[in-house]
């Protein structure tokens, strides 16, 4: 791989130990994929929080930051375990607080923007069409490729951080135009989208991710002008059961105004996959793991709720009070919480008994301490959230629409998916 003079200096350790470590990672990574050079990137997002980093990961980060290493590219960070301002109220154990504090200090020292959000594209980390970026976090990575038309591989956190420090990444995979062509054609024309809720798009994505695997799918016959919640629902589920980095939604993806454009040339004459409603229905039973009706916690925010989603939840809840034995959490970013306060939504939701929890996502961090507090059965409108809450933390999960989840918070029981 060809390196610039500056990159060679970094590799020789002339810009410090952290920069050398970052260059060593990128050099080895680039050699592995036979990249010819490093290309400049404009945006980085990193994912891991304490449950995956563990003590050893924190030490790795602290070592990287120890000699004043700084990122050169705007870098945002995914959610953490708890809301600093509610730590006492939520009974977060002292041990977990000190771990998060160390991650926080290391990232601050590296110059990472401490957004603690998975909707970082709402706070200014917005790449443009054709930009080369390094976004760890498989859901937003596929969103960037498929909705914005920016270019990112499925980079792990170590590669994304190294790229942020060096300011460049090996040119391979989805950074190259020839690797962005569609590979399988999926026809969803037989589904009746008139009645579709965003949760149905999530169930659809769950089903198709298993079939598509790592291949780049091309969707045809989706409705025109799909709302962003439906698009996010589909993409964020596809990357739980599959491992593709790019999805062509014909009519929505900038590189897929037609099937021909999505495939580059010679699109298949007939679809590789035709979806039936029963496939989508079957996904619901796979995503939900719970066998009981009593719900301990309804938790929204995987990915974190936008202001529009909070408005919808508040409207569905109205003046109802939560069931005495059921909690309702809305996980979001600090800025959306601030907006809720300003708009009176926070007061309205709190008077119903609901909480808005900032800086966390609904899939992972909080479950470390919620489980210790006796929370066992949770209801979510996120297929992705259900997968991680169940497989990483052993929660029993009920999956359904926002309406069904709000209803469960009021009645204390799960009554079905819609």
Partner 1 sequence: MRKIRAKSVTGGVAEGEAIVSRTAISFTGGMDPDTGIIREPGHELEGRSVAGKILVFPTGKGSTTGSWQFYAAYKRGHAPRGIINVKAEGVVAVSAIITETPMVHDLEEDPFEFIEDGDFVRINANEGYIEIRNKDGL
Site residues for partner 1 per CB under 8 A: 24-25, 28-29, 32-33, 47-48, 52-57, 60, 136-138, 141, 153-159, 173, 214, 243, 388, 391-392
CB of 177 to partner 1, least distance (A): 19
Report yes or no: 144 and 150 within 8 Å, Cβ to Cβ. yes
CB of 391 to partner 1, least distance (A): 5
Report yes or no: 397 and 202 within 8 Å, Cβ to Cβ. no
Token reading at 123: 């706070």
Distance CA 42, CA 55 (A): 30
Q: Which is nearer to partner 1, 28 or 228 (CB)?
A: 28
- DSSP string of 356-368, one letter each residue: EEESB-SSSTTHH
| Chain centroid to CA 173 | 21
Report yes or no: 389 and 378 within 8 Å, Cβ to Cβ. yes
Q: Which residues lie below 8 Å from residue 201, measured CB to CB, with a gap of 6+?
A: 230, 231, 233, 234, 237
Q: Which is nearer to partner 1, 33 or 129 (CB)?
A: 33
CB of 61 to partner 1, least distance (A): 10
CB of 222 to partner 1, least distance (A): 26
Q: Which is nearer to partner 1, 110 or 354 (CB)?
A: 110
Distance CA 171, CA 45 (A): 18
CB of 57 to partner 1, least distance (A): 4
Q: Which is nearer to partner 1, 217 or 267 (CB)?
A: 217
CB of 347 to partner 1, least distance (A): 36
| Chain centroid to CA 291 | 27
Cα separations in angstroms, 128 against 93, 124, 132, 147, 156: 41, 11, 9, 10, 22
Q: Tokens 């105004």 identify what position?
A: 257
Q: Which is nearer to partner 1, 60 or 196 (CB)?
A: 60
Q: Which residues lie below 8 Å from residue 342, measured CB to CB, with a gap of 6+?
A: none
Q: Which is nearer to partner 1, 288 or 326 (CB)?
A: 288
Report yes or no: 83 and 338 within 8 Å, Cβ to Cβ. no
Q: Which is nearer to partner 1, 222 or 368 (CB)?
A: 368
CB of 213 to partner 1, least distance (A): 8
């Amino acid at each position: 791989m060809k390196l610039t003079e500056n990159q060679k200096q970094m590799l020789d350790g002339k810009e410090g130990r952290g920069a050398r470590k970052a260059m060593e990672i990128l050099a080895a990574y680039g050699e592995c994929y036979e990249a010819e050079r490093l290309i400049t990137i404009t945006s980085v997002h990193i994912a891991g929080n304490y449950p995956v980093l563990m003590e050893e990961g924190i030490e790795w980060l602290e070592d990287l930051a120890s000699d004043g290493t700084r990122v050169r590219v705007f870098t945002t960070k995914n959610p953490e375990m708890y809301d600093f301002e509610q730590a006492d109220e939520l009974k977060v154990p002292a041990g977990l607080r000190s771990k998060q504090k160390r991650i926080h200090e290391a990232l601050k020292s590296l110059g990472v923007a401490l957004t603690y959000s998975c909707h970082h594209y709402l706070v200014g980390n917005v790449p443009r069409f054709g930009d080369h970026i390094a976004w760890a976090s498989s859901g937003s990575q596929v969103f960037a490729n498929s909705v914005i038309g920016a270019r990112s591989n499925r980079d792990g956190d170590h590669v994304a951080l190294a790229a942020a420090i060096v300011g460049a990444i090996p040119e391979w995979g989805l950074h190259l135009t020839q690797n962005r062509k569609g590979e399988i054609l999926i026809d969803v024309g037989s589904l009746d989208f008139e009645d579709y809720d965003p949760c149905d798009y999530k169930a659809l994505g769950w089903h198709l991710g298993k079939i598509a695997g790592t291949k780049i799918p091309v969707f045809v016959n989706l409705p025109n002008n799909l709302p962003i919640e439906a698009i996010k629902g589909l993409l964020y589920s596809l990357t739980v059961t599959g491992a593709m980095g790019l999805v062509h939604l014909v009519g929505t993806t900038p590189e897929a105004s037609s099937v021909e454009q999505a495939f580059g040339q010679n699109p298949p004459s007939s679809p590789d996959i035709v979806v039936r409603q029963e496939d989508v229905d079957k996904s619901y039973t796979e995503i939900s793991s719970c066998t009981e009706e009593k719900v301990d916690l309804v938790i929204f925010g995987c990915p974190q709720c936008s202001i529009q989603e909070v408005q919808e939840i508040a409207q569905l809840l109205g003046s109802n009070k939560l069931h005495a034995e059921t909690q309702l959490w809305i996980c979001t970013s600090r800025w959306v919480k601030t907006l809720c306060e300003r708009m009176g939504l926070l007061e309205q939701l709190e008077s119903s008994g609901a909480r808005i929890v900032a800086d966390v996502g609904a899939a992972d961090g909080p479950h470390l301490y919620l489980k210790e507090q006796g929370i066992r059965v949770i209801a979510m409108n996120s297929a992705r959230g259900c997968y991680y809450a169940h497989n990483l933390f052993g929660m029993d999960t009920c999956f359904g629409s926002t309406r069904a989840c709000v209803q469960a918070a009021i009645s204390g029981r799960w009554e079905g998916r819609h």
